[in-house]
Structure 1
Amino acid sequence: MSSLAPAPSARLRPVPRPSAGLRAAADAGTCGDSASAGPLPVKVLVCEDDWLIASSIENVLAEAGFAVVGIAADADEALLLLRRERPDLVLMDIQLQNGTNGIDLARQLFDRFALRSLFVSGNVNDAARLTAAPAQPLGWLHKPFSDDELAAAVRAAAGRDDDRH
């Protein structure tokens, strides 16, 4: 673990979510007086062991209208957050802390919870894609990526190809 990484207890936390009324108002693009509520934001669990990258991803996705429900650096944190927060999809790095292989974790999440992952990695090869195939990946995003590429990839993975959430 890097000396810059916060203590595990600081890392394992759900991200505060606004109330349903505020989410609906944000989705509708209003200040809360709208009679028509838009869809609730897609809930994303970020599995990334580099705290700076994870924090950047969290900020970009929040600005794009997604609800980041937490950040996990390894399998134990991911499973705890998954059970507590019930995400819609997972943004999964291939190599995580404590020897956790993100592809194996994604396969476990798919087999046990029917939860699919969007993989992020700086080095994706055919063998990794083949190994991940049983998890039915939502896609692959190559590091480094821009903020716009990240938001577009998660939007596409969530089945929302438009610019609204």
Structure 2
Amino acid sequence: MGYQILIVEDDQWIAESLSEMLEVLNHDVVSVVDSYDAAITMLEEVKVEIALLDIQIRGEKTGIDLAEKIKNDYHIPFIFTTAYADKETIKKASVQSPYGYLVKPYGMKDISVSFDFAIENHRFISGITG
């Protein structure tokens, strides 16, 4: 069973690589965008079950800002994908209660496990069964 996924990533090469890995894992990448505004547009237009958010994206707003909006308005799980693993970045990101935090570079196994945990935790928190 695959998930409908939104990728928010401003590096085209990373976005393409991530999309390919997700397709191999039988997920459906509904859109790849590189900014806060583009992500909000996609969240309004297509069904998204999980979002992968780079912390550093195009524009003034960050992936952390986007995570706050998703948490408050869309109620879907999100996983941060970032090259930043310093304590300050992790502290800022953790305030949004992400369902995962993948540090680049990552592989298919990392993504697969993160997705399984994110979806199951989301179901548990939301009281969804099945």
Q: TM-score range by the shorter chain?
A: 0.7 to 0.9
| Secondary structure at 2:120 match in 1 | coil
Match of 2:127 in 1: none
Contact preservation (8 Å) 1:111, 1:135? no
Name stretches of at least 5 consecutive residues in structure 2 with no aligned partner. Answer: 122-130
Q: Once the 2 structures are TM-superposed, how far is the Cα of residue 43 of structure 1 from its aligned partner?
A: 1.1
Residues 86 and 135 of structure 1: CA distance in aligned 2, closer, same or farther (over 3 Å):
farther
CA deviation vs aligned residue, 1:118-139 (integer Å, no higher than 9, x gap): 0111112333233233422001
User: In structure 1, which of residues 48, 62, 68 is the aligned counterpart of residue 9 of structure 2?
Assistant: 48
Match of 1:131 in 2: 92
Matched to 1:154, the amino acid is: F
CA deviation vs aligned residue, 1:17-54 (integer Å, no higher than 9, x gap): xxxxxxxxxx5xxxxxxxxxxxxx21111010001110
Distance in 1 of aligned mates of 2:110 and 2:25: 11
Match of 1:94 in 2: 55
Number of corresponding residues = 121
Distance in 1 of aligned mates of 2:94 and 2:105: 23
Distance in 1 of aligned mates of 2:108 and 2:94: 26
Q: Once the 2 structures are TM-superposed, how far is the Cα of residue 62 of structure 1 from its aligned partner?
A: 1.1
User: In structure 2, which of residues 49, 59, 78 is the aligned counterpart of residue 117 of structure 1?
Assistant: 78
Distance in 1 of aligned mates of 2:111 and 2:52: 10
Q: Once the 2 structures are TM-superposed, how far is the Cα of residue 61 of structure 1 from its aligned partner?
A: 0.6
**Which 4+ stretches in 1 moved above 3 angstroms?**
none
Distance in 1 of aligned mates of 2:86 and 2:77: 19
Match of 1:82 in 2: 43
Contact preservation (8 Å) 2:77, 2:118? no
Match of 1:20 in 2: none
Contact preservation (8 Å) 1:94, 1:119? yes
Distance in 2 of aligned mates of 1:76 and 1:152: 29
1:103 partnered with 2:89: no
Name stretches of at least 5 consecutive residues in structure 1 with no aligned partner. Answer: 1-26, 28-40, 161-165
TM-score by length of 2: 0.83
Distance in 2 of aligned mates of 1:107 and 1:56: 26
Match of 2:34 in 1: 73
Identify, as 1 or 2, the structure richer in helix: 2
Distance in 1 of aligned mates of 2:74 and 2:93: 16
Q: Once the 2 structures are TM-superposed, how far is the Cα of residue 141 of structure 1 from its aligned partner?
A: 0.6
Query: Percent of aligned pairs with the same residue?
Result: 25
